Chains A and B, each alone.
Chain A
Amino acid sequence: MTRSLNELRPVYVVGIGWHRYQNPSETPYVELGLTAIRAALADARIEWPAVESTYVATALLGMASGRPILRHLGATGAPLMHVENASASGSTAFRHACIEVASGISDIALAVGVDKRNPVRRPDTGIGNLAEDAIVPFTHFALLTNEYAVRHNGSTEDIALVAVKNHRNGAKNPNAQRQQERTLDEVLGGKRVSGSLTALQCTPIGEGAAAVIVASEDGIRRLGIDAGRAIRTTASVGRSERVYPPGAGFDAALTKETADLALAQAKLTPKDLDIIELHDAFTVEELHYIESIGLCPEGHGVRMLKDGALDIGGQCAINPSGGLIAMGHPIGPTGIGQIGEIVMQLRGEAGPRQHGGARIGLAHMVGVGAVCYVHILQR
């Protein structure tokens, strides 16, 4: 018989930390990683030797890049593994850190994501293609933007409102790469990238790090961690792409099946969610995914956005961190940073961007390939 995460022993996030996401710089990745890990240890008020296992999420640094970070914390000999799962690398590392603790193999585990922007190399499968070299991610999502606008009789200006909201949230986040409010005119008037997408509707290229420490109840007791600040992971689901009907958007279809499983695992409905951190690398994605998660019927996302229902303080705050568009998307860290944001919000420690009374948060990432990971955290 198999079990889901919440049928194993409870697992809690007890420490969160970042190195700010930023434009590519000379800062070595080792420094990015150490900053995030030390911040997470300090937040949990534990010392490095308490960490029994580490999952390092990175997509672009190269082979075995974790040990050159961890050795500077004092080499304890604890196990270490690397996780590459495209944009979902961090989410995947978090899932496996949770599974390790929930299963009883460790009491304390670390998931850390770190990346610097290096060229992306895609494997050669030996199968030819017509023009994939001409279709980078922003063009994939420019096509989806065109489809969404036509199918739902919406305007591309309305879709761009996602960027206005997420830049507004990011402006209040000291760990965000972009910390500046933007008007709709600024968003629409920026550099045109592909289709109707402008630069401020696309995630920026950047670097950074994020870390979270997860613990069992035994670990929390043994190390004297403040249980009042611990946030439980109540669902963890990972899925990969299947064959969908021709023309169906696979990103949205995959998100729907993954989110449905996660909500069922936590015995929740979409209406129960106070906060969602989701993969808004491009504006149209936020609308696709809130509809896939079930916040509203297909095509109604713009209405919620315009009503303010997706704002901090609204019905369900979407990407209070600023999301991938404003907080940034350094790849390896991103999924872990989402968990950190939700933990901060559920603790009530999010300061000027606090969503009042937040009790339940959902984190969602998709990665090319295509994979999808969803986690639910509850106070």
Chain B
Amino acid sequence: MQPNKLLKPGLYSATSGDQKGATARLKGGRCRCGYVFFPMQTYGCERCGSHGDALTPCELSAKGTLLAEATVHLHADKNRPAPFTIVKVALDDGPVIRTVLAEDSAPVAPGQRVTGRLAAIGQSDRGETVLDLRFSIAS
């Protein structure tokens, strides 16, 4: 089996091996004040300004509820050929994130439950399958 490579390993991991289709876990953070954010950073808390030890990594579930979707028909950046669909998701663990809908996902609408999974998006120079986070309707 071909080895896999995560496109952005600083932002997410897989629940059980970095396999295509695996449910993702998001690498968020939590402040001592209770504020949960994504992605993890150590610069300081946007809510209270605490930094250093006050901020700790916190894995977030990639399950959530769709707030909005938009299919992009025009996009200047050739690395993102249109059309593709952007989703805005309220994660069950708090933060609201925006990313790409899986190409093979059924159409989505606000209010639906969605899940982030690892999807194959191409090949690396070394022949590895590159995986990135994509959302689709929760199964």
Q: Which residues of A approach B to under 8 Å, CB–CB?
A: 127-136, 138-139, 142-147, 150, 191-195, 243, 246-247
Contacts and interface: CB of A to CB of B under 8 A. Distances in A.
Q: Most chain-A Cβ atoms within 10 A of its Cβ — which of B70, B80, B99?
A: B70
A191 B41 contact: no
B46 interface: yes
A143 B80 contact: no
B90 A246 contact: yes
Nearest to B76: A136
Given A130-B11, A134-B75, A143 B70 contact: yes
Given A130-B97, A194-B71, A247-B67, 17 more contacts: A127-B43, A130-B98, A131-B98, A131-B99, A131-B100, A134-B75, A143-B68, A143-B69, A146-B68, A147-B67, A193-B74, A194-B70, A194-B72, A195-B69, A195-B72, A243-B35, A246-B95
Contacts, number: 89
Contacts of B70: 139, 142-143, 145-146, 194-195
Nearest to A241: B46
A147 B68 contact: yes
Q: Most chain-A Cβ atoms within 10 A of its Cβ — which of B46, B69, B86?
A: B86
Interface of B: 8, 10-11, 35, 39, 41, 43, 46-47, 67-77, 79-80, 84, 86, 88, 90, 94-100, 109-111, 133
A192 B73 CA distance: 6
Nearest to A140: B98
B122 to A, nearest CB: 15
A135 B98 contact: yes
B98 A195 contact: no
Nearest to A151: B110
Contacts of A127: 39, 41, 43
A144 B70 CA distance: 9
Contact of B71 (A128, A129, A195): A195
B79 A133 contact: yes
Contacts of A195: 69-72
B2 to A, nearest CB: 24
A336 B69 CA distance: 34
Contacts of B79: 133
A244 to B, nearest CB: 10
A247 B95 CA distance: 8
A191 B74 contact: yes
A131 B74 contact: no
Nearest to B7: A130
B86 A143 contact: yes
Given A133-B80, A139-B72, A191-B74, A128 B96 contact: no
A128 B10 contact: yes
B110 A150 contact: yes
A191 B74 CA distance: 9
A247 B96 contact: yes
Contacts of B99: 130-131, 134
Given A133-B79, A246-B90, A147 B10 contact: no
Nearest to A246: B96
Nearest to A202: B74
Contacts of B95: 246
A110 B70 CA distance: 42
B100 A146 contact: no
B131 to A, nearest CB: 13
A146 B94 contact: no
Given A130-B97, A143-B69, A143-B98, A194 B80 contact: no
21 contacts: A128-B8, A129-B11, A130-B99, A133-B79, A133-B80, A134-B86, A134-B99, A139-B70, A143-B69, A146-B69, A147-B88, A150-B110, A150-B111, A192-B73, A192-B74, A193-B74, A194-B70, A194-B71, A194-B72, A246-B90, A247-B90
